[in-house]
């Protein structure tokens, strides 16, 4: 049952270069996609170059085998299809992943000043260890929608010349009481306020005497920040009401280790599975069954909302696709979904030797041993888990072995230590075969997460084998 370390297959310099080249592309994707919107923008550009057309723009044309179409929803969720030779009623081969990641979201009334420091108040998004997010350079990404309907896009803190932002922590000299607290309480959620300024607005004599000037002088540092927001970005304080601003670690993904074998970067849960999934879609040739890739938002907060997997967006798009192929009926849509096969990809917890007691080693994902399959996730007696069918896993084993793809199987930690959910159970509601799979990640949900380059590469190979191999 011992699984092979995938680097053993990389026996030539050319193969090693290929793994590196793929990792570089992935790191670029991480650098340019720190929010779900930025990911969708990038992916649309990439797949349009590769011949994909927006489904809503095909007009009266009937789709046929080989055609490639995509649809997006609210700029945060995307689904792409490559039409196969077989009728759609026979089902799709679906890759699914999510493109939202844990972060801090700016509140609707966020800006305040306290003792000469200006702050943006936040509410964290997804499961984080709050103490990991202090004293790091942070960036602000997102959109501000103004009342006239125009949108200001922000990404501040990524260029070398950009300012960054940060959250303070108490110095150790005064931290004795804090250090006695439980880790969950060391930094409280309401204390995750972003420091954004320290300089009072400078007003000339005349300006000081106006009503506005007098008001500005009362909270001079906050006023200074508002002045910059107005002048540089054309944003007013009330515009925060209709904004989605995400606070994320500033800086680029980096190669890690003397051997450069790993990638340290923000948002790898689950952009690592998203990148490998859509890149796999671009590498397949003609397919028998229609290939599909779903990249959704809101997984980290329960797949809710119009852009989460629980939304009818996907089902509606399949109906639209079948209509465009000339085979739509209510029954045909049901059959198509029920007959589909899916790899629900999300990151898996890599076995961490420093925290070995959280894992059961025989059934843990090992960094460098290839794509991970979780028959079940869940917690406390598999509760909430998808628990894939043995028959389906049998098919997948054969497909991967035939394509010489390295894979491993794992659980999320020891029994009763914890657990977690994915989007798998939502697609399984249609009756289709679904299994959880994905790339192993060290320090998942931390500001900087780590993956192995070879696992990233092997995931893409597995996805290609799946799309081509399930007939």
Contact residues for Mn ion (CB under 5 A)?
269-270, 346
The residue among 184 and 241 lying less far from Mn ion, judged by its C-beta, is 184
Closest CA to 80 of 37, 41, 48: 48
CB 419, min distance to Mn ion, A: 12
Count Cβ atoms below 10 Å from residue 191 Cβ, excluding itself: 14
The residue among 101 and 339 lying less far from Mn ion, judged by its C-beta, is 101
DSSP letters, 185-210, are HHS-GGG--EEEE--PPP--HHHHHS
SS3 (DSSP) at 374: strand
Q: For residues 40 and 32, is the Cβ–Cβ distance under 8 A?
A: no
CB 99, min distance to Mn ion, A: 10
CB 39, min distance to Mn ion, A: 14
- For residue 139, the cross-strand partners are 248
- For residue 145, the cross-strand partners are 151
The residue among 113 and 299 lying less far from Mn ion, judged by its C-beta, is 299
> What does the alpha-carbon distance between residue 436 and residue 423 come to, in Å, rounded to a whole number?
9
CB 124, min distance to Mn ion, A: 13
CB 128, min distance to Mn ion, A: 10
CB 125, min distance to Mn ion, A: 11
The residue among 213 and 384 lying less far from Mn ion, judged by its C-beta, is 384
Closest CA to 194 of 165, 224, 215: 165
Evaluate the omega torsion of the peptide bond into residue 270 and state whether it is cis, within 30 degrees of 0.
Answer: yes
Q: For residues 450 and 264, is the Cβ–Cβ distance under 8 A?
A: yes
Tokens representing 376?
């079940």
> What does the alpha-carbon distance between residue 276 and residue 269 come to, in Å, rounded to a whole number?
12
- For residue 53, the cross-strand partners are 69
CB 150, min distance to Mn ion, A: 33
SS3 (DSSP) at 124: strand
The residue among 246 and 346 lying less far from Mn ion, judged by its C-beta, is 346
The residue among 336 and 343 lying less far from Mn ion, judged by its C-beta, is 343
CB 270, min distance to Mn ion, A: 4
SS3 (DSSP) at 296: strand
The residue among 67 and 270 lying less far from Mn ion, judged by its C-beta, is 270
Tokens representing 52?
């994909």
CB 79, min distance to Mn ion, A: 18
The residue among 269 and 279 lying less far from Mn ion, judged by its C-beta, is 269
The residue among 36 and 346 lying less far from Mn ion, judged by its C-beta, is 346
The residue among 219 and 346 lying less far from Mn ion, judged by its C-beta, is 346
The residue among 33 and 84 lying less far from Mn ion, judged by its C-beta, is 33
Closest CA to 404 of 7, 5, 9: 9
CB 418, min distance to Mn ion, A: 12
DSSP letters, 97-111, are EE----EEEEEEEEE
Q: How many Å separate Cα 135 from the centre of its chain?
A: 23
Q: For residues 120 and 196, is the Cβ–Cβ distance under 8 A?
A: yes
From edge to edge, which strands make up the β-sheet containing 151-156? Answer: 151-156, 138-145, 243-249, 103-114, 117-125, 194-197
Rounded (5°) CA angle 51-24-461: 65
Side-chain half-sphere CA neighbours of 170 within 13 A: 12
CB 346, min distance to Mn ion, A: 4
């Amino acid at each position: 049952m011992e699984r092979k370390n995938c680097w053993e297959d990389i026996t030539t310099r050319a193969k090693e270069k290929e793994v590196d080249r793929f990792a570089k592309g992935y790191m670029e994707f991480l650098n340019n996609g720190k929010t779900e919107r930025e990911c969708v923008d990038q992916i649309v550009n990439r797949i349009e170059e590769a011949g994909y057309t927006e489904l809503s723009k095909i007009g009266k044309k009937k789709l046929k085998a080989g055609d490639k179409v995509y649809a997006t929803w609210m700029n945060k969720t995307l689904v792409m299809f490559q039409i196969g030779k077989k009728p759609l009623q026979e089902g799709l081969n679906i890759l699914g992943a999510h493109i939202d990641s844990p972060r801090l979201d700016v509140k609707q009334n966020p800006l305040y000043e306290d003792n000469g420091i200006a702050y943006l108040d936040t509410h964290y998004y997804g499961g984080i260890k709050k103490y990991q997010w202090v004293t790091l350079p942070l960036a602000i990404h997102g959109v501000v929608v103004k009342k006239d309907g125009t949108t200001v896009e922000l990404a501040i803190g990524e260029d070398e010349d950009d300012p960054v932002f940060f959250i303070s922590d108490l110095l150790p000299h005064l931290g004795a009481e804090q250090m006695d607290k439980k880790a969950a309480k060391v930094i409280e959620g309401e204390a995750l306020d972003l420091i954004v300024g320290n300089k009072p607005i400078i007003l000339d004599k005349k300006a000081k005497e106006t009503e506005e000037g007098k008001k500005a002088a009362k909270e001079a540092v906050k006023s200074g920040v508002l002045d910059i927001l107005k002048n540089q970005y054309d944003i007013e304080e009330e515009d925060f009401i209709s904004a989605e601003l995400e606070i994320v670690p500033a800086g680029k993904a980096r190669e890690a280790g003397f051997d450069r074998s790993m990638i340290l970067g923000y948002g790898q849960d689950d952009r690592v599975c998203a990148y490998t999934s859509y890149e796999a879609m671009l590498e397949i040739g003609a397919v028998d069954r229609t290939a599909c890739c779903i990249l959704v938002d809101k997984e980290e907060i329960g797949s809710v909302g119009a852009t989460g997997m629980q939304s009818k967006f996907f089902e509606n798009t399949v109906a639209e696709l079948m209509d465009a192929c000339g085979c739509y009926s209510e029954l045909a849509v049901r059959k198509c979904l029920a007959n589909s096969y899916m790899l629900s990809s999300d990151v898996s917890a890599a076995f961490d030797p420093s925290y070995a007691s959280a894992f059961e080693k025989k059934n843990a994902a090992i960094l460098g041993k290839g794509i991970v399959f979780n028959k079940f996730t869940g917690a406390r007696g598999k509760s909430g888990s998808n628990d894939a069918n043995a028959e389906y896993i049998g098919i997948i084993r054969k497909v991967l072995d035939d394509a010489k793809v390295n894979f491993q199987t794992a659980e999320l930690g020891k029994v009763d230590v914890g657990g977690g959910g994915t989007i798998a159970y939502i697609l399984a509601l249609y009756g289709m075969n679904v299994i959880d799979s994905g790339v192993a990640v060290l320090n998942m949900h931390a500001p900087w997460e780590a993956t192995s380059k070879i696992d990233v590469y092997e995931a893409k190979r597995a996805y290609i084998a799946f799309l081509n191999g399930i007939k």
